[in-house]
Structure 1
Amino acid sequence: MTRIEQKDNGKKGRFVMYEDDLPVGEMTYVWIDDSKIIIDHTKIEETHGGKGYGKQLVMAGVEFARKQELKIIPLCPFAKKVFDRDAGIQDVRFS
């Protein structure tokens, strides 16, 4: 069973994915101002690759942005790839 937890200190934050209570990946972001964040890093443990966890973390960030009425700048290459491939999340992309 997996779950994602968010931690945020007002300047930066992260989403951490757990599988059976063990951390298996994270996506980090930094606040630019009160309306924008930059996704700067996404990493999944090699032993858990190929399960779609990276995309789930990016989508957790998208959900957060929608709820908070934020825009996302996807600087992380993986997050950028997710945004480039999914027309359904462009509403939160800052261009």
Structure 2
Amino acid sequence: MAAIKQEKGRFYLGDSELPDAEVTFRETDNIVIEHTMVVEDKQGSGIGTDLIDHVVAYAKEQGKQIVPVCTFAQEVLSSDKKYDGVWEGPL
């Protein structure tokens, strides 16, 4: 798998302008995940979850909680106890 890259407010795979997958977020007192996108031919491969895991690691480094506005992020974060304590429950 290609390396996940980071820019301000996002993690992505592929080209910066036309990524194969990306998760976008904004930082306040928390990290608000706004959107997750994976191109159709790569969906179901786990890339979206990998991107969310990168946001989780980043949030832990920053000492911040995650607020998932994105429904995919909310599904991932609520699907496994390993995410307990890093996100602020369902909106």
Distance 1:18 1:66 in 2: 25
Instruction: Please list every run of at least 4 consecutive aligned residues from structure 1 whose deviation after the TM superposition is greater than 2 angstroms.
Output: none
Structure 2 residue 24 is matched with structure 1 residue 25: no
Give the Å deviation of 1:94. 2.3
Bigger fraction of residues in strand: 1
What is the CA distance between 1:37 and its match in structure 2? 1.1
Where 2:12 maps in the other structure, the secondary structure is strand
What's the TM-score, normalizing by structure 1? Answer: 0.84
Indicate the SS of the match to 2:6.
strand
Task: Please report the RMSD computed on the Cα atoms of aligned residues, expressed in angstroms.
Answer: 1.6
Q: Secondary structure at the match of 1:17?
A: strand
| Matched pairs, number | 87
Q: Which residue of 1 aligns with 2:82?
A: 88
- Identity among equivalent pairs (%): 36
